[in-house]
Structure 1
Amino acid sequence: MSDDSPHSSNGSSSKGWLDKISQIFNDEPQTKEDVVDVLAIAAQNDLIDQNTKNMIDGVLEIADLRIRDIMIPRSQMITLDLSDGPEKFIPAMIESGHSRFPIVAEDKDHVEGILLAKDLLKLLIDRDKEIIIKDLLRPIVVVPESKRVDSLLKEFRQNRYHMAVVVDEYGGVSGLVTIEDILELIVGEIEDEFDLEENQTDNIRKVSKHVFMVQALTELDEFNAFFNSEYNKEEADTIGGIVLHQFGHMPEKGEEVEVGGLIFKIHTADTRRIQQITVTVPKFDEEGSES
Structure 2
Amino acid sequence: MGDSIDESSNAAQSAQPQRHDDDDEPAGFFRRIIGVFSPGDDTQTDETRSDASAPGAMPGLRNLRDMAVEDVAIPKADIVSVPVSISRDELVDVFRESGMTRLPVYEGTLDTPIGMVHLKDFALRHGFNGQSSAYSLKKMLRPLLFVPPSMPIGVLLQKMQNDRRHMALVIDEYGGVDGLVTIEDLIEQVVGEIEDEHDVDEDQYFVRESPGSYLAIAKTPLDEFQAETGLSLTDAEEVDEEEIDTLGGLVFMLLGRVPVRGEVVEHPSGASIEVIDADPRRIKRLRVRLPDHKDA
Answer yes or no: is the 8 Å Cα contact 1:223–1:229 preserved in 2.
Answer: no
**Which is bigger in relative contact order (C-alpha 8 A, separation at least 6)?**
2
When residues 111 and 226 of structure 1 are mapped into structure 2, their CA distance, relative to the original with a 3 A threshold, is same
1:226 aligns with 2:249: yes
> Which amino acid is the alignment partner of residue 58 of structure 1?
G
Counterpart of 2:68?
66
Percent of aligned positions with the same letter in both sequences? Answer: 33
Taking structure 1 as the reference length, the TM-score comes to: 0.51
Please give the TM-score of this superposition, normalised by the length of structure 2: 0.50
CA distance in structure 1 between the partners assigned to 2:181 and 2:248 by the alignment: 28
Distance 2:73 2:179 in 1: 6
RMSD of equivalent CA atoms: 3.5
Query: Shift of residue 57 of structure 1?
Result: 4.7
State the partner residue of 1:161.
Answer: 165
Residue 158 of structure 1: CA displacement? 2.0
Which letter does structure 2 place at the counterpart of 1:107? Answer: T
Shift of 1:191: 2.1
Q: 5+ residue gaps in structure 2?
A: 1-41, 45-55, 200-214, 222-241, 259-279, 283-296
- Structure-2 change in CA distance of 1:121 and 1:145 (3 Å): same
Q: Which residue of 2 aligns with 1:43?
A: none
- Distance across 1 between alignment mates of 2:58 and 2:217: 23
SS in 2 for 1:145: coil
Q: 1:55 to 1:173 in 2, by over 3 A?
A: closer
Question: Which residue identity lines up with residue 91 of structure 1 in the other structure?
Answer: D
Judge conservation of contact 2:76–2:179 (CA < 8 Å) in 1.
yes
Partner residue of 1:191? 195
1:1-291 to 2 correspondences below 5 Å: 57-125=59-127, 127=131, 129-195=133-199, 197-200=216-219, 220-222=243-245, 226=249, 228=251
Aligned length: 171
Please report how far the alpha carbon of residue 170 of structure 1 lies from its aligned counterpart in structure 2 after TM superposition. Answer: 1.0
The letter of the residue matching 1:137 is L
Amino acid across the alignment from 1:97: G
Q: Please give the per-residue CA displacement for 1:198-236, whole angstroms capped at 9, x wherever unaligned.
A: 32379xxxxxxxxxxxxxxxx843379626456xxxxxx
Contact 1:55 1:186 in 2 (8 A): no
Following the alignment from structure 2 to structure 1, what is the Cα–Cα distance between the partners of residues 244 and 197? 29
User: Which ranges of structure 1 fall in alignment gaps of 5 or more residues?
Assistant: 1-29, 33-53, 203-218, 231-259, 263-279, 283-291
